[in-house]
Amino acid sequence: MDLQRYVRREMRRRPGRTLGVVVGYAVAAVAIISMLTFLTYEQGQLSQVLAATGTRFMLFTPAPKSIPYRDVFLDTVRQDEGLFVRDVETSYFGTDLMGALRNIASVRAITPYLLYRLHDPHTGRLINVGGFELDGLDVVRVTCCDPEDVTDGQFLAAGDIGKVMLDAQYAEDAKVKVGETYTLSGLSFTVAGIVDSQDRPARADVYLLRQDAQRVLASIMRIKPGTKLKLEVPEGGSCADGKCGTQPAATAPPPPADLANVILVRAVSPQAVAEASKEIKKRMPVAVQSGVLQELPSAEVFDLPERSIWALFAVVALASMLLAWSVQNTAVAERRRELGLLKAWGWTSDRVLGLLLAESTWRAFLGGAIGCAAAVLLFTVAPMKSLAGITTQAVLMPSALVLGAVLGATVLTAALGSFIGAAYAAYRLPAALLRDEA
Mean pLDDT on 100-117: 90
Percentage with pLDDT > 70 across the chain: 66
In degrees, rounded to 5, the angle at the alpha carbon of residue 24 between the alpha carbons of residues 399 and 350 is: 95
CB atoms under 10 Å from CB of 162, counted, come to 14
* Cα-trace Rg, the chain: 35
Give the orientation angle of helix 3-13 with respect to helix 349-381, to 10 degrees: 60
Instruction: Decide: 287 and 60 in contact? Cβ < 8 Å.
Output: yes
Confidence of residue 163 (pLDDT cuts 50, 70, 90): very high
- Distances from the Cα of 86 to the Cαs of 45, 126, 220, in angstroms? 30, 12, 19
pLDDT tens per residue across span 257-276 = 678 889 898 888 777 887 88
Q: ∠ at Cα 384 (376, 402), nearest 5°?
A: 40
* pLDDT number for residue 17: 72
Please count the other Cβ atoms lying within 10 Å of the Cβ belonging to residue 78: 12
Name the range with the highest mean pLDDT among 1-15, 73-87, 190-204, 346-360: 190-204
Mean pLDDT computed over 205-212: 94
CA distance 203 to 140: 10
Q: What are phi and psi of 332, to 5 degrees?
A: -65, -40
> What pLDDT does residue 156 have?
94
The 3-state DSSP class for residue 401 equals helix
- Domain map (residue ranges) of the chain: 3-49+300-434, 56-268
Cβ(170)–Cβ(123) below 8 Å: yes
HSE (CB half, 13 Å, CA atoms) of 399? Answer: 10
Q: Residue 82: name the closest of 199, 222, 188 by CA.
A: 222
Average pLDDT value for the chain: 75
As a whole number of angstroms, the distance between CA 406 and CA 29 comes to: 7
Higher pLDDT: 313 or 169? It is 169
- Average pLDDT (200-219) is 88
287 against 22, higher pLDDT: 22
Q: Quick one: average pLDDT of 222-242?
A: 43
In sequence order, what DSSP letters do the residues of 217-262 get, joined into one string? HHHHEEE-TT-EE-PPPPTT---TTS-TT----EEPPPPPSSEESE
Task: Say what the pLDDT of residue 21 is.
Answer: 79
Tell me what pLDDT residue 74 has. Answer: 54
Q: Say how many Å lie between the first and final Cα of the chain, rounded.
A: 28
Range ranked top by mean pLDDT from 133-137, 226-230, 408-412: 133-137
Phi then psi dihedrals of residue 36, to 5 deg: -65, -35
- In this structure, which amino acid lies at residue 102? R
Say whether 380 sits in a helix, a strand or coil. helix
Kindly tell me if the per-residue pLDDT of 182 is higher than 60: yes
